[in-house]
Structure 1
Amino acid sequence: MSQPSPRTSPTPFDLITMGRLGVDLYPLQTGVPLAQAETFGKFLGGSPANVAVAAARLGRRTALISRTGADPFGDYLHGALRDFGVSDRWVTPVAAYQTPLTFCEIFPPDDFPLYFYRRPKAPDLEIHPGELDLDAIRAARIFWATGTGLCEEPSRAATLAALAARGRRGLTVLDLDWRPLFWGGEGGASGAGGRTGPAAMAAARPHYAAALAHATVAVGNADECEVATGERAPHAAARALLAAGVELAVVKRGPEGVLAVHRDGTTAEVPPVEVEVVNGLGAGDAFGGALCHGLLAGWPLERTLRFAGAAGALVASRLSCSAAMPTGEEIEELLGSGAGSASAPSGADAGAPRTEVPRS
């Protein structure tokens, strides 16, 4: 990145993720609006960072490519990544911008508004193509990029360069990760705002298409699939993602579970795991880390989806995101228990509501 960093490790990483990183500040009371909340917990946040944490918790060797502000919150994130077993060798500071903060309100079972503080620009959008360790990206067993990384330059060019460097080899994942706020929809993105949600979606689609042309796996919910392909219905969305170039399409369906379709004709659909939802945010990232674990293990597709869905359900039943990522033993215990008598489905969208409030 902007400072010298060690070059490729002799042992490739199991998973390298790239993109958003920040501090989550969650109220320690549920059912309380931010205006009335008095105490907060501080956690590592950002979807790619959480996916790396989730996979590390399952024993995988992981790293993150991102940037922070040159500030105490950035120092906190470096320490948190290391504590979770995620390499921070490619996480470097940007003096011009502050480390982003994200607040949420917690209204179980399905209302978790997010408030992003990423203006005038988040450091994780200042990843430049020339700073990438492309040898390490090529060597990683899985490389994971996100749609958010496509929303602004130079992150967009860097994300596409990293995906292209993979040469469609192995497992190259695009998490569709649609956040209209970052694209100018419903409140504006850094630098320019005021466009409608549909306009933001139309602006984003060509960049998603460019990324999908390099990916072998795509993961997203109905909204995200619609942005990328124009299709919302699960099977139609999966077909459209395959047509866009991927080998495996994973469509998260929230309370209806998850669908995955492989180009070879293999299809798997699994129901949700029901839990008492505390905070659905971060459950989709647990799903992603567990999905990577199953793909690396070479498990059958249905087993991988069940495992990933249970990982997401466990995180949905807990307050935090990164600190809540489960171990393999916890996931197997939940699956072995028949998922218990929980009252609210988190499923393999994995209860990952991406409710957004147009503030940042």
Structure 2
Amino acid sequence: MTHELLTIGRISVDIYPNDIGVDLEDVTSFGKYLGGSPSNVAVAAARHGRRTGVITRTGDDAFGNYLHRELRKFNVDDTFVSPVKEYPTAVTFCAIKPPEDFPLYFYGRFPTAPDLQIKAEELDLDAIRDAGIFWSTVTGLCQEPSRSAHTAAHEARPQSGLRDGQYTILDLDYRPMFWATEKEARAQIVRILPYVTVAIGNDKECAVAVGEGTPDEQADRLLAAGVEIAVVKLGPEGVMAKTRTERVISAPVRVKTVNGLGAGDSFGGAFCHGLLSGWPLAEVLDYANAAGALVASRLSCADAMPTPDEVTSLLAERGRMAPGQFVPATYAPEGAAL
């Protein structure tokens, strides 16, 4: 099977509290979900009808079996998911204290985790080469052997960029607990950016990758590094995407936040769906923004990923049109004022 989207990297069991608005020590019951950003992105795109798969590793244990079952439930190909006997499946706890406080607690990731044991010689480079979109994260570069596997995967991708209708996306996804210093992370990002056609990150993640600056300055540095589309998340101001010929801003889709942890992964899966659909960049952003907002308004991540009907319904409720129906007022050619 040729995948429309193939992701690589983190997977875990997310343990989320059923008690909202309290500290973790006061939670009395929890729910169990599939987690890990690249795995969630694959689930999100599958909810939009895309053929997706994930390259990752679990422990050889009951939680690993659970993750296989969940991937299959969400129609994500688990062919490239295999167990590592030496390490248990990673587990992530969080507290849910909306609207902005969602602290994460990682277990089974130190000094390493199964999904950081992906080895270059184990990769199916043909599957990676043929995928419409290949998605990776900065976290996968934090240690060996995962770092070398990510490098080999990126080197296998077509280097002609957007002309082939294929995309290699790097989620800048910087998490300081996995790195000794920001300098170390930046060195690895700089090495991988020449193989990337799309980079996605918020202000802090872009600052680690290419330095502090305005969103436009950060986007321009990503483009100068070889990226074709730079996506900079603007927090409450929405999200900006920039290419060498256009600059697009999508205003936020306002919702009541329940759990903001899965919003970025939902955004990513919907963004991939929009690229694969051939929509204009402005429409891709608006659709992805709405998909992210929907998950932010729900408790879980993977289980909360929306369908296309749910995304277009939310856009309609907010007076915003679905892809193919509008020319957004937020579009401006590069250099023009908004």
Q: Shared fold by TM > 0.5?
A: yes
Cα distance, 1:54 vs structure 2? 0.2
Given that 1:21 and 1:68 are in contact with CA atoms closer than 8 Å, whether structure 2 keeps it comes out as yes
The reply on whether 1:51 has 2:41 as its aligned counterpart is yes
The reply on whether 1:143 has 2:134 as its aligned counterpart is yes
> CA RMSD of the aligned region, Å?
1.0
Cα distance, 1:206 vs structure 2? 1.2
The reply on whether 1:119 has 2:110 as its aligned counterpart is yes
1:121 partner SS: coil
What is the match of residue 284 of structure 2?
304
What is the match of residue 348 of structure 1?
none
Distance 2:47 2:4 in 1: 13
What is the match of residue 270 of structure 2?
290
Given that 1:252 and 1:259 are in contact with CA atoms closer than 8 Å, whether structure 2 keeps it comes out as yes
Question: In the alignment, residue 206 of structure 1 is paired with which amino acid?
Answer: A
Question: In the alignment, residue 70 of structure 1 is paired with which amino acid?
Answer: D
Distance 1:38 1:71 in 2: 25
Question: In the alignment, residue 165 of structure 1 is paired with which amino acid?
Answer: A
What is the match of residue 233 of structure 1?
214
Distance 2:315 2:237 in 1: 17
Distance 1:68 1:120 in 2: 15
Mapping for residues 35-114 of structure 1, pairs under 5 Å:
35-114=25-104
What is the match of residue 29 of structure 1?
19
Cα distance, 1:323 vs structure 2? 0.1
Question: In the alignment, residue 143 of structure 2 is paired with which amino acid?
Answer: E
Distance 1:274 1:125 in 2: 36
Distance 2:285 2:205 in 1: 19
> In structure 2, do the counterparts of structure 1 residues 333 and 138 end up closer, same or farther at CA, with 3 Å as the change threshold?
same
> In structure 2, do the counterparts of structure 1 residues 83 and 323 end up closer, same or farther at CA, with 3 Å as the change threshold?
same
What is the match of residue 268 of structure 1?
248
Distance 2:90 2:63 in 1: 9
Question: In the alignment, residue 234 of structure 2 is paired with which amino acid?
Answer: R
Write the deviation string for residues 7-55 of structure 1: whole angstroms up to 9, x where unpaired.
xx3xx11000000000000000111111110100100000000000000
| Aligned partner (choices 124, 136, 139) of residue 133 of structure 1 | 124
> In structure 2, do the counterparts of structure 1 residues 137 and 201 end up closer, same or farther at CA, with 3 Å as the change threshold?
same
**Structure with the higher fraction of residues in helix conformation:** 2
Distance 1:231 1:216 in 2: 21
1:226 partner SS: helix
What is the match of residue 182 of structure 1?
178
Cα distance, 1:56 vs structure 2? 0.0
Cα distance, 1:65 vs structure 2? 0.2
Distance 1:233 1:84 in 2: 38
Distance 2:221 2:301 in 1: 31
1:89 partner SS: coil
Distance 2:43 2:319 in 1: 23
What is the match of residue 203 of structure 2?
222
What is the match of residue 230 of structure 2?
249
Cα distance, 1:339 vs structure 2? 6.8
Given that 1:275 and 1:339 are in contact with CA atoms closer than 8 Å, whether structure 2 keeps it comes out as no
1:35 partner SS: helix
Cα distance, 1:211 vs structure 2? 1.1
The reply on whether 1:153 has 2:149 as its aligned counterpart is no
Write the deviation string for residues 207-256 of structure 1: whole angstroms up to 9, x where unpaired.
10111110000000111101110134211110010011110000011111
Distance 2:235 2:113 in 1: 29
What is the match of residue 167 of structure 1?
158
Cα distance, 1:204 vs structure 2? 1.0
Given that 1:24 and 1:103 are in contact with CA atoms closer than 8 Å, whether structure 2 keeps it comes out as yes
Cα distance, 1:119 vs structure 2? 2.2
* TM-score using structure 1 length: 0.86
Distance 1:244 1:72 in 2: 43
Distance 1:261 1:105 in 2: 35
Structure 1, unaligned stretches of length 5 or more?
Answer: 1-8, 185-199, 341-360
The reply on whether 1:325 has 2:305 as its aligned counterpart is yes
Question: In the alignment, residue 95 of structure 1 is paired with which amino acid?
Answer: K
Between the aligned residues of both structures, percent identity stands at 59
> In structure 2, do the counterparts of structure 1 residues 339 and 18 end up closer, same or farther at CA, with 3 Å as the change threshold?
farther
Given that 1:70 and 1:98 are in contact with CA atoms closer than 8 Å, whether structure 2 keeps it comes out as yes
How many residue pairs align between the two structures? 314
Deviation larger for 135-144 or 159-168: 159-168
Structure 2, unaligned stretches of length 5 or more?
Answer: 321-338
Cα distance, 1:143 vs structure 2? 0.3
The reply on whether 1:19 has 2:9 as its aligned counterpart is yes
Write the deviation string for residues 165-219 of structure 1: whole angstroms up to 9, x where unpaired.
10324200011110010013xxxxxxxxxxxxxxx10111111011111000000
2:26 partner SS: coil
Given that 1:223 and 1:232 are in contact with CA atoms closer than 8 Å, whether structure 2 keeps it comes out as no
